[in-house]
Structure 1
């Protein structure tokens, strides 16, 4: 199953410039309607569900995913057809809310692709009545994406009630004008489990027999059955599956690694285009394995055929570090110089044009560029080739776009280069590769001499991804439940990325960058007319900058603390965390807040536990025996220091409830409290020891997760003296 969010766009294709309504071809729309509701499989007439699922939020009675990849003889275009038909019984208000509204893209043309969209919705009442919802009821809205608008339709499904069956379908028929003899369709992943249990599902796809098919069934998913149509030069593959339990709201689950899934990609290529070293196999034959040799040839091809990268880096390093003999320093300086050339010089303009200034660039291009420079200067290094752990192991590699690369510099002071972003530093390993098995090659050698060897990528320990929060709390008014919190956060490793992207922009680190690199004048290299536009945009941006950051700051503080937050202010970035010698991102601010103090006669109860960040509250269902291993993003730790100024005339009681010491192999939570003069000092720490735990160790995780949450519920008594 491909999981779709009901209330967001269901087909990821931007339709712009030329658009018309969905179902805009009445004749074809009626043919599709007939196919889905009149000629469908018998399971789409079922109205009963198994007793074992009566208490579920919803049950999918039947679902059918049909895909088709075609090319007519002598045609210069390809046809891609995709239909999803679903029949689901809604059993509670939560499911009704989930399915109360759909968003449908309109038919239209984008570039060399013409897409026609079709959809249909009907409600089947428990008494058998069928109520079709016409698309004429849909409301057109405009959506802006990267400054380009495209139309979408919002359709409300009225009068849904518990016990109703919703039967609906979506379809896209896409025509692609070929620009070359090679075209790779979008990869597709189906997960056979989803948010709701599934009684029966079917997946079919047909392809011209001369197309190339990469397909792999994972985690116990059944295989496809093949039916060949030699007369029409077509192969059809079918998978039938049934009785799948739901996996809704399972925490720390990597579905592609743990849930029965199928991933595949179809490629059209002429015999000449197919000779390039990609992962395609023989035309018309399923390919479900990729060898180490095929991986090597593809990576060699990428390095050998990429456009020339690195000339500007080479020139800069020659100018500024020509006499540097220490390869450890040279390798690090080259990384930061490349970050400046490739990322920072364009960041201000991207920001002012409203684009994502922190967006990652092409990791493949970046690795090639830096590896080229290291090779030119005989800096020993390895190029590491792996697959992100949330996708699959290296053994299950089947698609070219699953590959991910990074560099390990092997000088006397070795380090990894795993990120290429505005704020990445040397020594970081992308969490997607941590703990995985991968391949590595000697980057100094010319590509014809490369040999792929297996390696294990390390996992950063919890202390390397750390958040240290200090909350200095002063009571403003006990009766009004009002406090002021002076906040200081020091964040390192992967923990810092969110805060850097949300609470900092180019104007926080432009001066720091200029002190190390040739930044030039504002918008140097742009045309004068463009410079004028950018300077005006800069003026407008700076006027609103403080307001925008205060809004972001409020969202951050409100997310961190389970309190009612007033307007935070006085945000100050103390350290940017953009170089390895000062790797922590440090900021301060302060805010007034409420929601922690209650009057108790002459005294007051203070929910002091709320002054550490909000903690995970496990449901009763989650505490049960876990069925799946725990895949966490990365090992990490959180430290808290609370400095609560005791109001004059009061003493604190209840410190003993603030003592915790729960530590085991999976992580821990500790806390301690003391009185120091007029302050209550509380220090606590929570940490996740690893990015992976076996399901059998889940009870150990529950221990420290519960301890952390229970701490947030603890109160102290301010007793009137």
Structure 2
């Protein structure tokens, strides 16, 4: 062995040993700190955690939160009395956030929820220690009905898993049973540099379980400016000063359960407090370190958003010039190819789709090769997209204004806390205004996201000249309308026959998706190769990027790589269709013989997403003597089920959007059999909130069934809840309907 190789080998071994020793040291320090934190939290002087109270025997809740406490510290490092992992590093501020809950489990649903905790990977859950990053510490105890207590060994029990490509950490809770109380906490600790803001905080006083006691304690250094808002009837904090800053306390008891997972807008319906903790003083923004500001005025938020708009517009102006040149070049080529000019009222549409092509569809040699389903799920930076688009339209004399929208699932315009509460849309000015945004890579020009429907939003056309100052008095109000159930619809034509063995259904299905029901399946099923080619052709772009690569000596090999990637994506598309079928029918197809995209729905003037599938299903036909029973109600897929505790509703209803589902089924009756029970399928429920109708027509060898379910409005007052329940219950009743194929 040469001296050089020997030296290299020894160096690697030494490095490995040093890294291993450092990792072992980090793990040891983490465990020591975790144990100290658990002792601290378990010994909190909060009476609600010290003894399990007597609970109402007639309480029907799946689980009851006996106590919940949030402890937040954003303190000077001088106030910290310990030296734990990472605390030897020179830092100025210490941040920790601890959430502890004690929960009584009343049934198997709650047991399933808590017997295996699943935490989102928030920063570094179970990653022991990373310098400069947060450390997460977890503690779990089980309290049995006889009062005995057992602590779960968390460090050994947590395992990391991937779920839908997102890494999560799961903690198995052994020996947990119905009737037990689980007492657990999660703490995040972090050392902060100066100029570091604290994560935005939200204290939500409501859950799908009743909460007997909810308390909050915050200690925040005077080096921070605190801005917070109480919404939906939430109480205010009790605020007092100490030597380091401000102390916030709150205690609320007997919070009733809410149907948070069923058509609610928590920001608008649940009492909550939102808090920003911002470092330092910035007089121009009205930010003063040490100040506590409760319920900031809306004029303050508008002034801040105006500063933000001005700053962002200036920041994007330079890049907008280059993009404008590219759009103009595409437009010139389009005119030459089509030998005609665009009508003036068509120019905004062309500009939008040209820029969408540049932003999301065009490929350069430096791009990572991503042509499968993953590409469809790219989340655009909507604000960046719109600022560039506004620069392009300004340069092409298309006047437009920014519309500052808030989500129906976010705070209302009168309960904003910061500029991040706004999202942007553009709206062209003129007799036929056009809304523009970038929700995804398939967003149409004119599309308005359903979460902005029904909202009143401030709008402003930013001054083009730097010498003219934009002012909040220039804001106007824009009322955004609601889409209708007919605009958001799923229509299926389904032809069904049985195989000779009377075991499988042969299904020939033609699906049309409109409006807000379209995007999810576009993302799942479309291929980049296809929609790239469609948009390239529509914009009259002469050559494909594959042709450009093939003509380039430097990039010629890329053409072959993309060809192989396209082939793999097309092969994987079959699995995507199988997944879509399984999701609708809750049965994996036995065989998928045909899957085809008929219309991609890429533009507002041809908006529908349409596809055809042909497949077989097992499990919907059961033999009964010489006869067969068909689960007819399951041919339209599973239906929404309202939990028993959700039926007595006391809050208004925020549905995603008005929508309808229409199914036209033709069932071929096998020779030698007659059909019974078709008359029992007919149904008619129609009220102010929705409808569910079933009409059947029986011919000699064919049954035709037309089913239509409609949710007429995106928002309903709670007084209409029983009307909605009628529609939901009718659909569930249909799902259980069966037909008898009787031997003739």
Alignment deviations for residues 563-607 of structure 1 (CA, whole Å, 9 cap, x no partner): 563232421111110011211111111111133334455544433
Instruction: Find the counterpart in structure 2 of residue 316 from structure 1.
Output: 326
Given that 1:146 and 1:355 are in contact with CA atoms closer than 8 Å, whether structure 2 keeps it comes out as no
Equivalent position to 1:258, from 266, 269, 272 = 269
Matched, 1:124 2:143: yes
Instruction: Find the counterpart in structure 2 of residue 208 from structure 1.
Output: 221
Counterparts of 1:168 and 1:553, CA distance in 2: 41
Equivalent position to 1:90, from 78, 102, 105 = 105
Instruction: Find the counterpart in structure 1 of residue 116 from structure 2.
Output: 101
TM-superposed deviation, 1:704:
2.0
Given that 1:667 and 1:689 are in contact with CA atoms closer than 8 Å, whether structure 2 keeps it comes out as yes
Counterparts of 1:538 and 1:370, CA distance in 2: 29
Change in Cα spacing, 1:591 to 1:129, as seen in structure 2 (3 Å) is: same
Instruction: Find the counterpart in structure 2 of residue 14 from structure 1.
Output: none
Counterparts of 1:252-651 in structure 2, within 5 Å, are 252-269=263-280, 271=281, 274-275=282-283, 277=285, 280=287, 283-292=290-299, 293-294=302-303, 295-306=305-316, 308-321=318-331, 324=341, 326-346=343-363, 349=368, 351=370, 356-442=375-461, 448-449=469-470, 451-477=474-500, 480-517=502-539, 518=541, 520-522=544-546, 538=562, 541-563=565-587, 565-600=589-624, 602-624=626-648, 626-651=649-674
SS at match of 1:59: strand
Instruction: Find the counterpart in structure 1 of residue 83 from structure 2.
Output: none
More displaced stretch, 702-711 vs 200-209: 702-711
Alignment deviations for residues 495-522 of structure 1 (CA, whole Å, 9 cap, x no partner): 0111101111202222212213436423
Given that 1:226 and 1:238 are in contact with CA atoms closer than 8 Å, whether structure 2 keeps it comes out as yes
Structure 2 residues not aligned, in runs of 5+: 1-21, 79-88, 120-124, 336-340
Given that 1:317 and 1:334 are in contact with CA atoms closer than 8 Å, whether structure 2 keeps it comes out as yes
Counterparts of 2:351 and 2:672, CA distance in 1: 60
Matched, 1:166 2:179: no
Richer in helix (by share): 2
SS at match of 1:461: coil
Change in Cα spacing, 1:501 to 1:531, as seen in structure 2 (3 Å) is: farther
TM-superposed deviation, 1:174:
0.6
Change in Cα spacing, 1:312 to 1:472, as seen in structure 2 (3 Å) is: farther
SS at match of 2:532: helix
Counterparts of 1:141 and 1:614, CA distance in 2: 32
Change in Cα spacing, 1:651 to 1:362, as seen in structure 2 (3 Å) is: same
Change in Cα spacing, 1:313 to 1:412, as seen in structure 2 (3 Å) is: farther
TM-superposed deviation, 1:474:
1.4
Given that 1:641 and 1:681 are in contact with CA atoms closer than 8 Å, whether structure 2 keeps it comes out as yes
Counterparts of 1:587 and 1:683, CA distance in 2: 20
Alignment deviations for residues 146-204 of structure 1 (CA, whole Å, 9 cap, x no partner): 89xx8x865432222333322222212112345xx4x3322122211123222212112
Instruction: Find the counterpart in structure 1 of residue 61 from structure 2.
Output: 56
More displaced stretch, 128-137 vs 334-343: 128-137
Counterparts of 1:40-51 in structure 2, within 5 Å, are 40-51=45-56
Instruction: Find the counterpart in structure 2 of residue 15 from structure 1.
Output: none
TM-score, length-normalised on structure 2? 0.84
Counterparts of 2:653 and 2:132, CA distance in 1: 41
Counterparts of 2:585 and 2:251, CA distance in 1: 48
TM-score, length-normalised on structure 1? 0.87
TM-superposed deviation, 1:252:
1.0
TM-superposed deviation, 1:621:
4.2
Counterparts of 2:395 and 2:169, CA distance in 1: 55
Alignment deviations for residues 327-370 of structure 1 (CA, whole Å, 9 cap, x no partner): 32110000001101111125984625995543221111112112
TM-superposed deviation, 1:76:
5.8
Given that 1:667 and 1:704 are in contact with CA atoms closer than 8 Å, whether structure 2 keeps it comes out as yes
Change in Cα spacing, 1:612 to 1:284, as seen in structure 2 (3 Å) is: same
Change in Cα spacing, 1:275 to 1:335, as seen in structure 2 (3 Å) is: farther
More displaced stretch, 443-452 vs 675-684: 443-452
**Which has more radius of gyration?**
2
More displaced stretch, 554-563 vs 301-310: 301-310
TM-superposed deviation, 1:543:
5.0
SS at match of 1:351: coil
Matched, 1:247 2:263: no
Change in Cα spacing, 1:115 to 1:511, as seen in structure 2 (3 Å) is: same
Counterparts of 2:77 and 2:438, CA distance in 1: 44
Given that 1:485 and 1:591 are in contact with CA atoms closer than 8 Å, whether structure 2 keeps it comes out as yes
TM-superposed deviation, 1:666:
1.3
More displaced stretch, 599-608 vs 434-443: 599-608
Given that 1:462 and 1:688 are in contact with CA atoms closer than 8 Å, whether structure 2 keeps it comes out as yes
SS at match of 1:463: coil
Counterparts of 2:170 and 2:23, CA distance in 1: 16
Change in Cα spacing, 1:617 to 1:444, as seen in structure 2 (3 Å) is: same
Counterparts of 1:474 and 1:146, CA distance in 2: 38
Counterparts of 2:402 and 2:146, CA distance in 1: 64
Counterparts of 2:152 and 2:673, CA distance in 1: 65
Change in Cα spacing, 1:617 to 1:129, as seen in structure 2 (3 Å) is: closer
Counterparts of 1:291 and 1:281, CA distance in 2: 18
TM-superposed deviation, 1:385:
0.1
Given that 1:419 and 1:429 are in contact with CA atoms closer than 8 Å, whether structure 2 keeps it comes out as no
RMSD: 3.3
The number of residues matched between the two structures is 688
Matched, 1:191 2:196: no
Given that 1:70 and 1:80 are in contact with CA atoms closer than 8 Å, whether structure 2 keeps it comes out as yes
